[in-house]
Every structure is written in C-alpha cells, then in structure tokens.
Structure 1
Amino acid sequence: MANADPIRPPEAADDWTIPQHWERYTPAEHALWDRLFARQTHMLPGRVVPEFMAGLDLLRLTGPGIPDFEKLSERLMKVTGWQVVAAPGLVPDAVFFDHLAHRRFVAGRFIRTPEQIDYLQEPDIFHDVFGHVPLLAHPVFADYMQAYGEGGLRAEGLGAIERLARLYWYTVEFGLIRQDGELKIYGSGIASSYGESLFALDDPSPHRLGFDLRRVMRTPYRIDDYQQTYFVIDSFEDLLRQTVETDFAPLYAQLEQAADIPIGTIMPEDRVHTYGTQTHIQTHRSLSGREDGAS
C-alpha cells in the first residue's frame, strides 16, 4: 500500500506523479516483463478469477513488452473511468487515497532485476500493473477500489490508517474468492507471484477463512513471507456492499478496545474453509530463529 512519510523527489509533481518515460525501457527490461508475463499467464487460468483474465484481454495487456501507461489508461478510461499514473515508489497515505478516490491507480515504473524475479520487497511495475490493473476493468471491483480510497481519506482523520491498511492487504493484495464452489485468486500480490499463486490455493499450511470486516481489521499481516491466513470473500458485490454500507467511524472506535488476533489464530466464530497446518511458517521460523512477525 502506501508509506506514511516518504520524501517527495524533485522530479515528482505535487500529487507525486512522474512521467513513465516508456521510451527509456531497455530491451532487457521488456524481455523480463515478457518472461514474467508468460510464466504467470501459463499457470493462472483456472486459479485466478475469470474476470482477471478477461481484464488482461480487454485492456490488451497481453504484450509484448512493458505497457505504456498513456495507452493503457486510454483503454481503461473507456471501460471504468480509471487511469494508471506513475509514481516514484511508495507515496504518502493521503496521496495514495486521493488518487484512488479519483480513479487513478498509482504504479511504480521500475521493473525488478532478473535476480529478483521471484521476490522483491517494494512493488515494481509487474506487480502494480499485471497484478492490479486487470480487475480495474471490472466495474464492481473498480467501484470497490474507489470506495476504499474515499474511506482512506476519512480514516486518516480518525487515526485508523493501520486498520484500513489491513483491509487492503487481505482483499486487494492477498484476497481469495469462492466462485462456483471453488477458491480462486483475485489479490494482486498473489496473482503477480508465481510461488504464492501455488501456495495460496494448494499448500496445506495457510488458514483460509471466510471474510469478515471486523475480523480482518483485527488481524496483522506478514510482509516477509507467504501469508499464514487468507480471507475468502463470497463475491465482489458483497465486498463492495460491506464497504459502502458500513459506518466506519463507530467501527474504528469499537476496534480500539479490541485486541489484535495473532496471524495464525482461528477464532471460534470464524467461518473456516481450510484449517491450515501452519507448517510453512513454523519451519521458516525454526530455521531463522525468529519470532512470528507482523506488520
């Protein structure tokens, strides 16, 4: 998501946007995009929601090479009124929310190196554009993203950014959905990651729990490994409904009195799709000697 206190670089405008400079990408960078794209689109069909694959086709994200934001935005504007703007990495929370509230998706313009093909900490253009943009062509999910931005602007004034960040993490980034009796991927952090695309659906380790707004906002998340818990929505329409119909101010007040729920914990009231073994995190913690981490 966003970062609270980054320093705006001189080249960035007041809204933190910068030129993409598409013409400056090298053949090697375009080739790396194509390599990442081919790997994900080979394994995602049947795993990701069909709306994601439809978005790739509708927006002509099928390549070759890194997309030009100007041309991509022209196509996206015609479908849902969204556009893609370049930014110098992470941006302040208020800037991030304002862009979303005005149907502008902020994307990094740099692409990872071949050595980072399976993991990098800061989102690059492949994560931001391949992972996020296809679903912005879906009207209901596009509305959810705008509603989230509007909610973020309100949350900032209520001191509830951390709570709302958890909602973004467990839906937009790492969300699962139940469609036709099967779990599918829709979160960008999963869809853009080869390893997590497999882990999120196939591995016995993580819990997969029914989505509940209050539960999600009480649950910290991992930024340094695969997720210990995924939350499963019933539909994009239900996700949007819960977001726009909830009065978040009293909810934030209630949550101030509620303790966080440790990441790997299952509560008695949870709707459990999968009881995870938690083997993955236990093995990694044992090997590294670290305690359970959260953000």
Structure 2
Amino acid sequence: MLTRDLIAPRNADWTIPQNWERFMPAEHAVWDTLFARQSAALQGRAVREFFQGLDVLRLSRPGIPDFDELNERLFARTGWTIVSVPGLVPNEVFFAHLSRRRFPAGNFIRAADSLDYIEQPDVFHDVFGHVPLLAQPAVADFMQAMGAAGLAAMKAGALHRLARLYWYSVEFGLALEDGAPRIYGAGLLSSFGESRFALDSPEPRRRLFDLRRVLRTRYRSDAFQQGYFVIPGFDALLRLLEDNDLDELYGELDEEPDLNP
C-alpha cells in the first residue's frame, strides 16, 4: 500500500496488461514452489475461508494464475477483479481501485533465490495472500469499504491512521476460529517464516482487536511484527468501518500518544 517513487505507466490508473504468456517456465516454477510450501505450512494455521477460496477459485492449478480466467471465477463470487500493475502504486490509485472492487497485483514474481523475502509485493503475495479471501462476501465488502476509507483518510490528512488499520487487519490480522487464533492477513498467509512466528512464538503480543489502539499503534515493515490484533470473525471487520466515525476518531487520537506494538 505505501509507495515509493515510480514511473507511471501510460494508463492513469496504473494498470498494465498481464501478458500471461510472457511468464517463463522458471517463473511458473517459483509460483509452484511457493504455493506448495505455503499451502502445507498453513494447514491448521490459516482460517478455513482461506482454503475455501483456494478451492473455489482453483488457485491450486500449476503456474502463475492467468487473471482473465481467475477473474471469471472471482467476479462471479463477489464482483471483484484482479488488475495487473507494475509494482507498488500511489496510495490514491491503490485505494481508488479497492473502492471499485479491483485489487492491484504486481505483474512479476520473485527470483528463485529470494523465496523468503522481497522488498516489493509480487504476484505471489498479492494473489495467494489476498485473493482467496476476496471470494468471501464479508471480506470483499470490507475491502471495498477500506478503499473508500483510504481515500477519505488522505483528504483528512490521516493516512497514517488508516494505514495502521490496513496493516493490522488486511496484512497481519488474526481471527478467532474454534476459540483459537488463526491467520487471515495476507502478509502472514504469504510468509513462510512469519506464519509460524505469529502463532507459535512467545515474543509478540496478541490482543483482541481494539480500533482505537490499532489506530494508535505503530508498525514496522522490515521485520516480523511485535504485536498482532485478533478479530472475533469476518463480520466484525465491516462493522469496524460501518459503526465508527473514523474522521471523529482521527481528531480525538491526535491528542493521544502513539503506541509501540
């Protein structure tokens, strides 16, 4: 979500053709390696809805997904589509896409010698991490609402607050399932190391989700998280945005100090 300086492509919305046929066998092999490893690692760790999404969208088929085929199945489920972009995009472009039920996915995949970490999110993070849950109506509606909330936060000068909500939910969120925390955040779903750390390590704090605390809590993008927030279920996500006046909260929190995780 957060961006660096990039040269914009010709389209004003930063979209580019996927040109799926240009991916080389070695690139498809990287996807297959990551998919097999991560699917096994997430057994008993990810929420059930994640695996349901893999199944209904047929993401287990070999190779990097062809977005034309993927979008037929995803749109039929929740009205979302995946659009191809060169990499990170400006915040206003990113949130505008979300508000229109479009998820931007990087049109590249990491190298075979960089399976565990890349600086920019690639097609594996974006599609494997985010897309399966977009097949769930509650998550699909929440993500669209996040897009509108992001655009509003930019106008209010409060993007840093909204970024924390996105970070601790969409990217690194945990949800209760059968009384135990499970992974639903894309940053965790797509990370071999942190998907274990988030649930098993005694180091990070795991708190029940509290919107005010989340909006006040800093995060780091260059290390495993020091804290995670746990929602009771996906219906609670949308209520976070529907039942709270974020503009009012932003103003109130300007009088309170930020928190470390």
Same fold (TM over 0.5): yes
Q: Supply the distance in 2 between the matched residues of 1:106 and 1:54 (Cα, whole angstroms).
A: 22
Pairwise mapping of residues 175-254 of structure 1 onto structure 2 (< 5 A)? Answer: 175-254=173-252
Asked if 2 retains the 8 angstrom alpha-carbon contact of 1:2 and 1:96, the reply is no
Q: Supply the distance in 2 between the matched residues of 1:38 and 1:65 (Cα, whole angstroms).
A: 11
Amino acid in structure 2 at the alignment position of 1:149: G
Match of 1:95 among 84, 93, 97: 93
Listed one character per residue, the Cα deviations across residues 61-114 of structure 1 (whole Å, up to 9, x for unaligned) are 012000011111111000000000011111111111110000000010110011
Task: Determine what percentage of the aligned residue pairs are the same residue.
Answer: 58
Match of 2:166 among 146, 168, 173: 168
Deviation of the 1:183 alpha carbon: 0.8
1:67 counterpart residue number? 65
Listed one character per residue, the Cα deviations across residues 172-226 of structure 1 (whole Å, up to 9, x for unaligned) are 0000011111110000000001111111111111110110111001011011111
2:157 counterpart residue number? 159
Deviation of the 1:238 alpha carbon: 1.1
Q: Supply the distance in 2 between the matched residues of 1:242 and 1:90 (Cα, whole angstroms).
A: 26
Q: Supply the distance in 2 between the matched residues of 1:244 and 1:88 (Cα, whole angstroms).
A: 33
Q: Supply the distance in 1 between the matched residues of 2:10 and 2:245 (Cα, whole angstroms).
A: 35
Q: Secondary structure at the match of 1:261?
A: coil
Listed one character per residue, the Cα deviations across residues 26-76 of structure 1 (whole Å, up to 9, x for unaligned) are 000001100000001112121100000000010010120000111111110
Asked if 1 retains the 8 angstrom alpha-carbon contact of 2:18 and 2:67, the reply is yes
Amino acid in structure 1 at the alignment position of 2:158: A
Matched, 1:6 2:11: no
Deviation of the 1:12 alpha carbon: 3.6
Match of 1:115 among 113, 116, 136: 113
Q: Which runs of 5+ in 2 are unaligned?
A: none
Q: Supply the distance in 2 between the matched residues of 1:7 and 1:45 (Cα, whole angstroms).
A: 37
Q: Secondary structure at the match of 2:138?
A: helix
Q: Supply the distance in 2 between the matched residues of 1:155 and 1:76 (Cα, whole angstroms).
A: 28
CA RMSD of aligned residues (A): 1.0
Q: Secondary structure at the match of 2:229?
A: strand
Q: Secondary structure at the match of 1:56?
A: helix
Q: Supply the distance in 1 between the matched residues of 2:6 and 2:198 (Cα, whole angstroms).
A: 34
Amino acid in structure 1 at the alignment position of 2:222: D
Q: Supply the distance in 2 between the matched residues of 1:182 and 1:202 (Cα, whole angstroms).
A: 12
Q: Supply the distance in 2 between the matched residues of 1:15 and 1:189 (Cα, whole angstroms).
A: 24
Q: Supply the distance in 2 between the matched residues of 1:92 and 1:120 (Cα, whole angstroms).
A: 19
Q: CA 1:20–1:121 in structure 2 vs 1: closer, same or farther (change >3 Å)?
A: same
Q: Supply the distance in 1 between the matched residues of 2:49 and 2:111 (Cα, whole angstroms).
A: 29
Amino acid in structure 2 at the alignment position of 1:229: G
Matched, 1:139 2:137: yes
Structure with larger Rg: 1
Amino acid in structure 1 at the alignment position of 2:5: P
Q: Supply the distance in 2 between the matched residues of 1:222 and 1:116 (Cα, whole angstroms).
A: 20
Deviation of the 1:247 alpha carbon: 0.9
Q: Secondary structure at the match of 1:114?
A: coil
Q: Secondary structure at the match of 2:193?
A: helix
Q: Supply the distance in 2 between the matched residues of 1:244 and 1:8 (Cα, whole angstroms).
A: 36
Listed one character per residue, the Cα deviations across residues 110-166 of structure 1 (whole Å, up to 9, x for unaligned) are 100112101112111100000000000000010000000011111111001111001
Q: Which runs of 5+ in 1 are unaligned?
A: 264-295
2:81 counterpart residue number? 83
Q: Supply the distance in 1 between the matched residues of 2:7 and 2:165 (Cα, whole angstroms).
A: 26
Q: Secondary structure at the match of 2:94?
A: helix
Q: Which is further off, 243-252 or 48-57?
A: 243-252
Asked if 1 retains the 8 angstrom alpha-carbon contact of 2:219 and 2:260, the reply is no
Q: Supply the distance in 2 between the matched residues of 1:226 and 1:116 (Cα, whole angstroms).
A: 17
Pairwise mapping of residues 248-287 of structure 1 onto structure 2 (< 5 A)? Answer: 248-263=246-261
Asked if 2 retains the 8 angstrom alpha-carbon contact of 1:206 and 1:228, the reply is yes
Count of residue pairs brought into register by the alignment: 261
Deviation of the 1:2 alpha carbon: 3.3
